[in-house]
Structure 1
């Protein structure tokens, strides 16, 4: 982290004016147009209005990686919830080793932010475990909501969880993560845009598809679009139903689901994708996604 970012990390949680100008500057720098947050039309503008004036009490509940699982279990059943191996206010390297020996590989994370997430496996060295322990404990002292200007995260009580690591589907090297952008229409119908990320660690690219038909959508968002076809995942209609059910209370939410050999698992719910600062390949697509979002962005 360079010196300027260190200073911003210190100042942003303390001074609203710094956050006000910094996030507008960041929006312009990344999206290449000056935002209108009072009368938003584009997808990214509406996300930023939500960040400033959010009203829905479930934002914090569903952004909490622990409480969200309780919400999901109640709404769609606990069979889609990934098992927690540990939940607590702190964790030690000794405890991490104990969980690993008794339960196997797992992900270590904080519940009140968007990472970093640590994979703890049989191949993890003692030094890697100590570093993961130090990292996740230190995350609890950081007000993530103020850093990204998404205040619903600030309402989450910071905790640590160890979550079971899923194995990829047969013949796959990585877990497929399907992100359902759900937009609630005035008549209650939920329109869905699906995006899938590929090759995150080597050549990150991202493709968008119409949620029902899985037709490719000809735009990119931050990362290039390489794949124009998507093999229909096993039990895809069930995934779509789950995403829509979880999205019902909101004007817009992104629901992330995993699919492992047809078994569906809940990943997370996100209320401000990319924090409203990811550039579309063309302004018209930012506006197009904004037109899908017909409800009040604050909810």
Structure 2
């Protein structure tokens, strides 16, 4: 069985509604044509395609700051203050426009592995199956029965393959080509993505003892003041299934009445993980060099595995419920 999760934007931004570059403008073309009018239908489709191409060309010419301001207004409901940012999203937008040079290698899902091995140890890395220069049939033939295909240059380029016999080289090759041709920077103008060379790689399929893909722990780590960092944990459960939920906890595993993006909160909180302290310790170690970073981890069966580091989560257009959290988190981010 193959499970696809190949949306081309950060997972939280996808939940926020940022699915493609056209999301901050209204589609002015209509396809409301009955099947009995095939010529008019084709004409409408061609017109819509032309309009979309014109829009994309026009938006590609917008300066990054204007593009992001329009996108922020579209998804957050207000124009951002990029000169004196106050909210979390505004400060993330400022990072997108002026990224720390370190973000490039640490956002690249392949080059970051060296950093994680040095900071945490190689045992916390999901085993790498292959990172070929090109995805060929020979590479496909050598892959194990189950694996995960990813791309290194953007978020949520993920294809879970539980049974290799249920997919094909051609299917995965088409998906890989789609990912590799995507300019991730152009989606939300996160400038550090421009310098990441796109590559396809394959990892071991991480499962818990029950055979399920473990929950995704996204630890928002604020380290801009003395003492232990302030950490909030977004737990994405059943990420590749039909009952995906997103729940926010504090470090004491209190279930907070907070929603990030449009993830639905669970009716009841998940049990406190037995290895919560190990998860938090790993996050503290990985965030110690930054005033803020989102550390993604997996914690199946009392183990802790690294997922990714994200410095501009949600691309700076991430809705919070209630909205005051945007301001509260903004105070935590220096």
TM-score, with normalisation over the residues of structure 1? 0.87
Determine the structure 1 residue equivalent to 2:43: none
SS in 2 for 1:71: helix
Superposition RMSD on alpha carbons, in Å?
Answer: 2.2
Q: Deviations over 1:75-126 (max 9, x none)?
A: 11110001111112211134213213xxx31111211111331223425445
- Check if 1:177 corresponds to 2:221: no
Give the stretch that moved more between structures: 278-287 or 41-50: 278-287
Q: 1:33 aligns with which of 78, 81, 84?
A: 78
The offset of 1:155, in angstroms, is 1.5
Determine the structure 1 residue equivalent to 2:9: none
**CA distance 1:9–1:259, shift in 2 (3 Å):** farther
Determine the structure 2 residue equivalent to 1:260: 300
Q: Deviations over 1:199-254 (max 9, x none)?
A: 333243211111x2111221212223224523221321111111111111111110
SS in 2 for 1:114: coil
Q: Deviations over 1:65-84 (max 9, x none)?
A: 11111100001111000111
Determine the structure 1 residue equivalent to 2:98: 53
Determine the structure 2 residue equivalent to 1:217: 256
**CA distance 1:176–1:205, shift in 2 (3 Å):** closer
Map residues 286-297 of structure 1 onto 2, 5 A cutoff.
286-293=326-333, 295=334
SS in 2 for 1:196: strand
Mapped to 2, the partners of 1:186 and 1:43 lie a distance apart of 16
Q: Deviations over 1:15-62 (max 9, x none)?
A: 342x443322221121122211211111111111111112x2221111
- Check if 1:119 corresponds to 2:160: yes
**CA distance 1:88–1:8, shift in 2 (3 Å):** farther
Give the stretch that moved more between structures: 3-12 or 217-226: 3-12
- Check if 1:240 corresponds to 2:280: yes
Mapped to 1, the partners of 2:97 and 2:264 lie a distance apart of 29
SS in 1 for 2:321: coil
Determine the structure 2 residue equivalent to 1:89: 133
- Check if 1:190 corresponds to 2:266: no
Q: Deviations over 1:134-154 (max 9, x none)?
A: 221343333212332111111
**CA distance 1:6–1:173, shift in 2 (3 Å):** farther
Q: 2:123 aligns with which of 79, 90, 99?
A: 79
Mapped to 1, the partners of 2:57 and 2:286 lie a distance apart of 36
Determine the structure 1 residue equivalent to 2:176: 136
Question: Does the 8 A contact of 2:68 with 2:93 survive in 1?
Answer: no
Q: Which runs of 5+ in 1 are unaligned?
A: none
SS in 2 for 1:132: helix
Which structure's CA Rg is the greater one?
2
**CA distance 1:42–1:68, shift in 2 (3 Å):** same
Give the stretch that moved more between structures: 117-126 or 277-286: 117-126
- Check if 1:15 corresponds to 2:15: no
**CA distance 1:185–1:116, shift in 2 (3 Å):** closer
Question: Does the 8 A contact of 1:89 with 1:158 survive in 2?
Answer: no
Q: 1:42 aligns with which of 74, 77, 87?
A: 87
SS in 1 for 2:105: helix
Determine the structure 1 residue equivalent to 2:192: 152
Give the stretch that moved more between structures: 65-74 or 219-228: 219-228
- Check if 1:273 corresponds to 2:313: yes
